Structure formats: C-alpha cells, structure tokens
C-alpha cells in the first residue's frame, strides 16, 4: 500500500527488497586513506587541501604527491557540510513561457556561467514560478544549503518576494534591472544613455512622429526608457499623446500588437523605438505584412543587440547592451557580498547604438507643431 501521496523528498519506499539497485558509486578515496598512506593525520591532509600556511613545505608536497597518486578528490558534500559555503549560485529566471529560450537571458547566463566557473562556483538554474515562490522555495534554497547566493533575472516591482532577500542572510543580486520594491544590489546596463542615443539619432534623421513600444510599467528599465523618450521628444517640441506609446510585453507578438495599436491612432508614424529587439522584430514583421517598407516608410530601432538582430530583414538598428559583462560583474559582486561585503552594489555599464538597415532619414524632415491625430 502506497499511502505516500505527498511528494516525499529524496525518498524511496524502503522495506521492499528487490528494488532500486541503482547507480552505486564505488567507495572513493577519502581523506583518511590519504592520511594513512602519507602517515599523517586527517587534519594535516585537510590543511594541505586548503593551503593552510601552518603546514610545512615538505609535508605539503609529500601529502600532495600522495593525493595525486591515489587520485583523491574531495567530496564536496562533506566539504560544504562542515564549511560555511556551498560554492553554488542560483540563477533565477522569471516565469515566462520561453524564458530559457530567450537570447536576452541566455547572454546574461553566458556571462554568469563563465565568470562563476572561473571563480570555482557552480550554477544552479531555477524558474521563479508562482508556486515556487508561494512555497517559499526561494528561501529554502538557502535554508537547505543548496546555494550561497542568488542572481535574479527578469525582475520587476510586482515581485513581492524580492523583499525576502535580506542581504546578510540571503545574499541576492538583481541583474540588469533595479526594482524599487526592494533595496537590493544590482548591476545593469545604462538604459538611459542608450535611450538618449536612440532619440538623438532618430531626431537627427528628421523623425518627429516616433512611437514607443515599451515594456510593462512595473519594469524599471522600461520606465527609464519611457522617461527619456518623453523628455527628448518634448525637448524637440513634440507633444506626447498616450496613444503614441503601447506595451509590447517584451515579446514579438506583443511588439506587433503594440505597433498595430499605435499605427491605428497615428498612421503617419515615421519611426518606432522598441524596448527590446524581440518587440522591434515583431513590429518589423507586422510592418512587412502590412506592405510597409522598413526603413523607407518607417524606421525601427531596438534594444539588446542580440546576435540574431543582425540577420532579420532588414537587419536591425539597436542599442548594444553588454549583457555578458553584466552577467560577469553581477557574479563578481554577488560573491563579494557572500563573503561579507558591506557597501551596496549599484553598477551601471555603458551602452552604444549599433546602426544597421532598419533606420533611415525621415521621408520629409518634419518641422514644428504636430497636430494630434484622432
């Protein structure tokens, strides 16, 4: 009878013979083996392993030689159990359908893994599904000693659980974002400067009728871009109407929808600025479907500079974000925090515009007052 309905942890129903004759690691060489082979105590071997300076040069090399001869490899479960650290970091992805397949997150993760490995850390992958958070598994990760720290990707201000990460007990760092919901460490791209470059460029090309395909307002980077958009257009003497802006949800479909909405109210739009490449690509796809020519009829510009963006038709003008560097630096700072760093982390990495084929001079270099559509 199997009354055990509840998901029991690493369990196997015991008491039953003739079962689970699974993978059985043959007993490996351990500290004691090395100690006796080298005629020293286990304490000595351990200290050699950790390069403790109190061990003499002679003993050190002798023990090390024995370790090599026996092919000794420390059991890291035992190491972590008795030491303070696991040397594992978790990467949290947001609860989005294709989060893993999203090149934006991929580039971040790439930077993270590279740096983490170089520093002797392993990376554990987690997706922050609602159930996961509700069961407080994000803290369990620490409490049960899975990880030393967490890198948070794709966060925003509605993520209440961000408040749970107390810096000294549950070290966490926000990657490429700065949610106001909690006062956490962060490392991110300079979206403001990127947006400034985009708008300077578009305005210089003669564009005034510029639509903004943005992300949700709860995402700090989306707000930043929007703020720059509004101030720059105002500065150029353009009155901003709400219908010139639409939420594209950071997806291709969303980008296309947002583009359609804006065009519906403003058929004379001459350029679109999108909050990321996926939305820009979605918009371009729609425009192509509608028979509009990018960039002759309409210019489109994105954010991210995914590898991919150079290969759509036409190739996409976009703001290059140093995502792998962000990932690497985030990893560095998180590890510092784990080892006792006190000062908060607030890093901003610079961005630059990459001009390709999706942008061109505005048809007729417009001037001055634009009459509001409707």
Partner DNA sequence: TCCGCGTGCTGAACCGATTCAACAATCTTC
Partner DNA sequence: GAAGATTGTTGAATCGGTTCAGCACGCGGA
Residues 82-111 that bind DNA (CB under 7 A): 82-84
Distance in angstroms (rounded) separating the CA atoms of residues 327 and 107: 8
Distance in angstroms (rounded) separating the CA atoms of residues 372 and 374: 7
Query: Among residues 9 and 368, whose Cβ is nearest to its own copies?
Result: 9
* 31 near DNA, rule: CB under 7 A: yes
Using CB under 7 A, pick the residue from 2, 24, 27, 367 that binds DNA: 27
Query: Among residues 121 and 191, whose Cβ is nearest to DNA?
Result: 121
Using CB under 8 A, pick the residue from 31, 107, 247, 317 that binds its own copies: 107
Using CB under 7 A, pick the residue from 28, 158, 241, 355 that binds DNA: 28
Rg for the chain, CA atoms, rounded: 27
Residues 33-92 that bind DNA (CB under 7 A): 39-44, 46-47, 49-50, 54-56, 58-59, 72-75, 78-79, 81-84
Using CB under 8 A, pick the residue from 154, 248, 254, 282 that binds its own copies: 282
| C-alpha 236 chain-centroid distance | 34
Residues 325-344 that bind its own copies (CB under 8 A): 337-340
Query: Among residues 46 and 178, whose Cβ is nearest to DNA?
Result: 46
Size of the site for its own copies (CB under 8 A): 95
- What is the DSSP annotation of 59-124? HHHHHHHHHHHHT----HHHHHHHSS---EEEEEEPS-TTTTT-HHHHHHHHHHHHHHHHTT-EEE
Residue 148 CB-density burial (10 A; 0-12 exposed, 13-18 middle, 19+ buried): buried
The contact mask relative to its own copies for 290-329 (x = CB under 8 A, - = no) is ----------------xxx-xxxxxx--------------
Using CB under 8 A, pick the residue from 34, 66, 148, 266 that binds its own copies: 148
Q: Please give the sequence-ordered ranges of beta strands (E in DSSP) within 110-227, or none if there are none.
A: 122-127, 149-153, 172-175, 185-189, 210-214
Residue with tokens 């802006």, as numbered in its chain: 245
Distance in angstroms (rounded) separating the CA atoms of residues 166 and 161: 11
Residue 102 binds which of DNA, its own copies, none (CB < 5-8 A, kind-dependent): its own copies
The DSSP element (H or E) to which 352 belongs, if any, is strand 352-354
Spell out the residues 6+ positions from residue 311 whose beta carbon is closer than 8 angstroms to its own. Answer: none
Choose the binding region for DNA from 29-37, 128-136, 153-161, 333-341 (rule: CB under 7 A). 29-37
Using CB under 8 A, pick the residue from 17, 23, 27, 58 that binds its own copies: 23
Query: Among residues 75 and 261, whose Cβ is nearest to DNA?
Result: 75
In Å, the largest CA–CA distance within the chain is 90
């Amino acid at each position: 009878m199997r009354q055990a309905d509840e998901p029991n942890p690493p369990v196997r129903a015991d008491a039953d013979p003739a079962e689970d004759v699974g993978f059985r690691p043959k007993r490996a060489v351990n500290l004691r083996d090395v100690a006796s082979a080298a005629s020293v105590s286990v304490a000595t071997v351990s200290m050699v392993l950790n390069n403790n300076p109190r061990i003499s040069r002679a003993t050190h090399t002798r023990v090390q030689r024995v370790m090599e001869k026996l092919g000794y490899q420390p059991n890291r479960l035992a190491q972590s159990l008795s030491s303070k650290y696991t040397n594992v970091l978790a990467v949290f992805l947001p609860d989005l359908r294709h989060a893993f397949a999203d090149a934006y997150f991929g580039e971040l993760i790439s930077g993270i893994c590279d740096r983490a490995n170089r520093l002797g850390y392993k990376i554990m992958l987690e997706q922050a599904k609602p159930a996961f958070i509700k069961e407080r598994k994000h803290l369990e990760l620490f409490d049960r000693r899975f990880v030393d720290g967490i890198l948070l990707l794709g966060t925003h201000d509605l993520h209440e659980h961000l408040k749970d990460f107390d810096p000294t007990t549950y070290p966490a760092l926000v990657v490429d974002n700065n949610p106001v919901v909690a006062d956490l460490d962060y490392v991110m791209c300079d979206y403001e400067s990127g947006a400034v470059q985009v708008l300077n460029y578009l305005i210089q090309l003669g564009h005034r009728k510029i639509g903004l395909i943005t992300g949700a307002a709860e995402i700090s980077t989306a707000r930043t871009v929007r703020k720059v958009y509004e101030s720059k257009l105002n500065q150029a003497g353009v009155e901003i109407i709400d219908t010139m802006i639409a939420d594209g949800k950071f997806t291709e479909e969303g980008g296309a929808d947002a583009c359609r909405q804006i065009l519906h109210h403003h058929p004379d739009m001459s350029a679109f600025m999108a909050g990321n490449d996926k939305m820009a690509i979605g918009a371009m796809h729609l425009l192509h479907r509608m028979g509009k020519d990018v960039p002759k009829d309409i210019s489109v510009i994105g954010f991210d500079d995914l590898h991919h963006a150079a290969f759509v038709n036409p190739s996409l003008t976009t703001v290059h974000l140093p995502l792998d560097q962000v990932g690497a630096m985030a990893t560095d700072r998180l590890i510092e925090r784990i080892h006792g760093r006190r000062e908060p982390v607030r890093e901003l990495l610079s961005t630059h515009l990459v001009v390709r084929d999706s942008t061109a001079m505005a048809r007729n270099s417009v001037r001055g007052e634009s009459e509001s559509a409707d």
